[in-house]
């Protein structure tokens, strides 16, 4: 008999939701995390009384009432609605592209006028079979939106010209013919009042956790502690990179405290011109309608993925997906190991999706 029923590697949303359900099912769990805090990428750091989203802006949104009620049972969510704006060389445009954006670009007032404008721009381009991202985007939204709001932003994100990027990266571009600046279409959205740490604390209440503890520092020892393992780290690392490394896009965050009550008037401002090296500035207090006398802002820079950088976004191109399939085959053969979450499944998951996936897994195993 081993000491625990479950060793859970990673205290992010997948690990935390699974641990919560396992505990309800009467199972004993030990969570380990190599970081010095719990919560994975939703962790917030308190600076000047402001919850700083340390690993990038996190806005909770879902269409699923069950998941919304589930998270609200741990912490109440506020009414924050994501309405980012774009700053193109000092000109401000609403996102996602909607009637406010079109009015600012062309002075059009009705949806019909905006539709005509876009249609005419697309027609003049004569692009029938887009062969790269530039042609793809132009054929979807026309010249003005592409030049001011997509081109240079995308080039900063990928570190390459749009002409040299494959068309498949942009399958569709949401264009809205209403005066609606709400970025998400989901029924429910918001930010936990008091920050995401409250959600994680609620999920992990009464569960043993060891921080600053890397599973790979002594995997034989950790395996000896529990009957089963839930692994939410990198799947390629679990298998010693035996088939090669999966690629990720990374980010660099530059955070500063400003002696200013309100720096940019919005939580998220995208910088869509190449004249600024960063892609976004996040002003964290606006997620929670903060009234503190100071503010904290984070500039977000896109990084080419390298083996040393923090893995943020999986690059799900054919080559990486094929590599992932090989690791998945090994994972499927494991008897007592569950692979879950964005790193172990090599998948871009929003928070509600990762919660849904952990709930499903625990329902399959514990029936609750
Ligand atoms: P997560 O990465 O959070 O947790 C994994 C944990 O495992 C980490 O704590 C890590 O330290 C630990 N670990 C890994 N290897 C280990 C090892 N060897 N030993 C011990 N511990 C180990 N979603 C959304 O709904 N709205 C949003 O606005 C955003 N915004 C956003 C911005 C950015 C920049 C990113 C990268 C992602 C988002 N997301 C998002 C997605 C969201 O972050 C994501 O869905 C969840 O945090 C994923 O939770 P996981 O548990 O899968 O991974």
Complex confidence, ipTM? 0.99
Residue 159 has pLDDT above 90, yes or no: no
Token pair in block for residue 101: 């954006």
Q: Which of 5-9, 309-313, 350-354 has the lowest mean pLDDT?
A: 309-313
What is the full DSSP assignment across 276-335? SS-SEEEEGGGGGT---SSEEEEEEEEE---TTS---EE--SHHHHHHHHHHHHHHHH-S
How does the average pLDDT of the chain come out, rounded?
96
| β partners of residue 297 | 256, 283
pLDDT for 299 equals 98
The confidence score (pLDDT) of residue 174 equals 86
Residues 67 and 208 in one domain: yes
Is there an atom of ligand 1 within 6 Å of 356 CB?
Answer: no
**Is 49 found in the same domain as 10?**
yes
Q: Which one of 169, 199, 221 terminates a domain?
A: 169
pLDDT for 151 equals: 98
Measured in Å, residue 82 CA sits from the centre of ligand 1 at 20
> Are 101 and 128 in a shared domain?
yes
Q: Does some domain include residue 44?
A: yes
Residue 50's pLDDT band (cuts 50, 70, 90): very high
- CA 119 / ligand 1 centre spacing (Å): 40
pLDDT at 305 over 80: no
In this prediction, residue 306 carries a pLDDT of: 75
| Span from the CA of 50 to the centroid of ligand 1 (angstroms) | 21
Q: What is the pLDDT of residue 316?
A: 84
Residue 360 domain flag: yes
The verdict on residue 84 lying in a domain is no
| Per-residue pLDDT at 308 exceeds 80 | no
| Mutation choice for ligand 1 from 246, 351, 356, CB with most ligand atoms inside 8 A | 351
Alpha carbon of 343 to ligand 1 centroid (Å):
8
**What tens digit of pLDDT does each residue of 165-223 get?**
989 888 888 899 999 999 999 999 999 999 999 999 999 999 999 999 999 999 999 99
**Is position 140 within any domain?**
yes
Do 60 and 100 belong together in one domain? Answer: no
Q: Are 13 and 351 in contact (CB under 8 A)?
A: yes
Q: Is the pLDDT confidence value at 307 over 80?
A: no
Q: What whole-number distance in Å separates Cα of residue 8 and Cα of residue 97?
A: 42
Spatial distance between the Cα atoms of 15 and 23, rounded to a whole number of angstroms: 12
Q: Which residues are catalytic?
A: 172, 176, 249, 280, 300, 348, 350
Please check whether residues 150 and 203 belong to one and the same domain. no
User: In angstroms, rounded to a whole number, what is the distance separating the alpha carbons of residues 174 and 96?
Assistant: 7
Please determine, for residue 17, whether its predicted confidence score (pLDDT) is greater than 90.
Answer: yes
Q: Answer whether residue 306 is part of any domain.
A: no
Q: Ligand 1, atom 38: nearest CA belongs to which residue?
A: 58
Report the atom number in ligand 1 closest to the C-alpha of 216: 18
Testing ligand 1's pocket by substitution, the residue of 250, 267, 298, 342 carrying the most ligand atoms inside 8 A of its CB is: 342
Cβ–ligand 1 contact at 37 (below 6 Å)? no
In this structure, the answer to whether residues 20 and 150 fall within a common structural domain is no
Instruction: Please indicate, yes or no, whether residues 107 and 230 belong to a single structural domain of this protein.
Output: no
What is the tally of structural domains in the chain? 2
Please report whether residue 252 resides in a domain. no
Do 39 and 14 contact (CB within 8 A), yes or no? no
Last residue of a domain, one of 169, 199, 227: 169
User: Which residue has its alpha carbon closest to ligand 1 atom 33?
Assistant: 56
Q: So what's the pLDDT on residue 170?
A: 87
CA distances from 168 to 110, 130, 138, 227, 317 (A): 31, 10, 13, 43, 9
Is residue 120 located within the same domain as residue 160?
yes
Q: Among residues 137, 169, 201, which one ends one of the domains?
A: 169
340 lines ligand 1 (CB under 6 A): no
Averaged over 292-315, what is the pLDDT?
90
**Residue 227: per-residue pLDDT:** 98
Q: Are residues 320 and 199 in the same domain?
A: yes
Which numbered atom of ligand 1 lies nearest the CA of 43? 3
- Verify that 341 and 234 share a domain, yes or no: yes
User: Given this model, what pLDDT does residue 63 score?
Assistant: 98
| Contact 214 CB / ligand 1 (< 6 Å) | yes
Q: Which atom of ligand 1 is nearest to the CA of 312?
A: 36
The pLDDT of residue 304 is above 90: no
Report pLDDT for 172: 82
Q: Are 9 and 158 in a shared domain?
A: no
- Within a domain: 258: no
Residue-range definition of the domain harbouring residue 163: 96-169
Query: Residue-wise over 194-205: b if at least 16 C-beta within 10 A, else e?
Result: bbbbbbbbebbe
Residues 19 and 163 in one domain: no
- What percent of the chain has pLDDT above 70? 99
Provide the pLDDT for residue 152: 98
Give a yes or no: residue 287 inside a domain: no
- Any idea what DSSP says for residue 273? S
- CATH of residue 38's domain is 3.40.50.720
Residue 354's pLDDT band (boundaries 50, 70, 90)? very high
- Residue that has been written with the tokens 């962790």 in this structure: 43
């Amino acid at each position: 008999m081993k000491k625990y029923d479950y060793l859970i590697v990673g205290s992010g949303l997948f690990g935390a939701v699974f641990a919560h359900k396992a505990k309800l099912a009467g199972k004993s769990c030990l969570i380990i995390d190599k970081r010095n805090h719990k919560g994975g990428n939703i962790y917030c750091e308190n600076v000047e009384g402001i919850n700083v989203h340390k690993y990038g802006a996190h806005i909770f949104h879902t269409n699923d009432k069950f998941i919304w009620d589930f998270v609200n049972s741990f912490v109440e969510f506020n009414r924050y609605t994501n309405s980012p704006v774009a700053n193109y060389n000092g000109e401000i445009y609403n996102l996602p592209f909607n009637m406010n954006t079109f009015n600012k670009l062309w002075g059009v007032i009705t949806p019909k006028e905006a539709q005509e404008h876009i249609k005419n721009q697309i027609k003049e381009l004569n692009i029938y079979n887009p062969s790269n991202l530039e042609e793809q985007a132009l054929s979807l939204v026309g010249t003005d939106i592409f030049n001011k709001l997509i081109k240079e932003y995308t080039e900063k994100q990928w570190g390459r010209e749009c002409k040299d990027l494959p068309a498949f990266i942009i399958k569709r571009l949401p264009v809205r013919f209403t005066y609606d600046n709400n970025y998400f279409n989901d029924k429910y959205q918001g930010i936990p009042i008091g920050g995401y740490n409250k959600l994680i604390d609620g999920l992990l209440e009464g569960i043993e956790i060891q921080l600053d503890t890397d599973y790979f520092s002594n995997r034989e020892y950790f395996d000896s502690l529990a009957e089963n393992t839930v692994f939410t780290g990198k799947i390629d690392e679990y298998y010693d990179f035996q088939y090669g490394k999966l690629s990720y896009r990374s980010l660099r965050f530059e955070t500063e405290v400003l002696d200013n009550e309100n720096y940019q008037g919005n939580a998220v401002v995208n910088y869509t011109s190449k004249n600024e090296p960063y892609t976004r500035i996040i002003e964290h207090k606006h997620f929670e309608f903060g009234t503190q006398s100071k503010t904290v802002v984070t500039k977000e820079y896109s990084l080419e993925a390298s083996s040393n950088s923090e893995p943020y976004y999986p690059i799900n191109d054919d080559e990486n997906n094929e590599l992932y399939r090989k690791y998945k085959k090994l994972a499927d053969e494991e008897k007592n190991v569950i692979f879950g979450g964005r790193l172990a499944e090599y998948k871009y998951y929003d928070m509600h999706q990762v919660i849904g996936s952990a709930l499903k897994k625990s329902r399959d195993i514990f029936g609750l």
